[in-house]
Chains A and B, each alone.
Chain A
Amino acid sequence: MFTVNVLVKIIGVLMFGALSFGMASSFANQDGILKHNLATDIQMFIETLVSFDGDSYVFLDKYDASDVSVVLTNNQVIVSNPGDLENEKVRRVYFLPQGYQISGAVKGAEMICLKKENQIILLEGCQERNEEGKYFS
């Protein structure tokens, strides 16, 4: 038979195990992966948009961004979930040529789009498709 001492030890080991598994799963949560990938994709699209003449519209339709907020500042894109602490927000930096303006904030949009007109880049949500399958903001 187990004594009280042994039972306490078993409970302690189980609690430590549960804590470790909890930490492991929080390290690998899907939200974190989505935030990192979305932020890097937006960063790379912005870098690409400023590399070419002409106006463009980019649909980031492989992401369901309804649970995240995305903010563009002059130098970085910030992707976060509601209630994220500062260190949980994902940031990616870009350096734009002089003359370019960039702005936009999207929260809970089903789809995210980047629009470039002349030297202005805007981030906006786009939700509806037309008959050709294109998205409208």
Chain B
Amino acid sequence: MKKGSILANNIILWTFGFIIVALAISLMTSLIQYKGSVISWPQEVQSQLVSLKFTNNPSCFAFFDNFTQKSISNSVDLNKFNDENLVGCYDTGKLKGVRSINYKFVLVGHGVDTSTSNYANDPRLQYEKEVLVFREGEFVGRDILQMQVQII
């Protein structure tokens, strides 16, 4: 075989190989991106859903009315608004090395705050909502609950 013919064969072969590999890599990249987009949930939705329990569940901050035996939605019982009680509601510290959503809660009008075990003052999202505030079983007024969300 002539030298020129061998060279031409090699060029065709390497070009063909390069195209196949490039196609495979681009296909793999786009499939990974597609899969990521199909399985990902917006962080805002996740953090909002997880945070529902804090102001609705009496094991968290929500006020429990002993008379009706019901918890009040969107309420904060100031007696429960502390780190100790929050651990009983949402203890992210008990699992090590696991991705979790952590929160800092600030009751703006009352100037008090509390945060979950692994909160490290690096919030990515922030929400505010109006809550009903109770103390010693009595309604004391409305306030703004600010939620700072840290997603590890």
Residues of A within 8 A of B (CB): 1-3, 6, 9-10, 13-14, 16-17, 20-21, 23-25, 27-28, 32-33, 36-37, 40, 44, 47-48, 50-53, 75, 93, 95, 97-100
Contact = CB atoms under 8 A, between A and B. Distances in A.
Contacts of B90: 95, 97
A53 B70 contact: yes
B147 to A, nearest CB: 14
Interface residues of B, number: 43
A47 to B, nearest CB: 5
> What 7 pairs across the A-B complex have the smallest Cβ distances?
A20-B24, A97-B59, A51-B52, A28-B31, A24-B28, A17-B20, A13-B17
Interface string B75-115: 00000000000001111101100111000000000000000
Contacts of B100: 93, 95
Contact of B28 (A16, A27, A47, A98): A27
Given A2-B9, A48-B49, A95 B91 contact: yes
The binding surface of chain A is classed by DSSP as: helix
Contacts of B88: 97-98
A47 B24 contact: no
A96 B49 CA distance: 13
B95 to A, nearest CB: 6
A99 B60 CA distance: 11
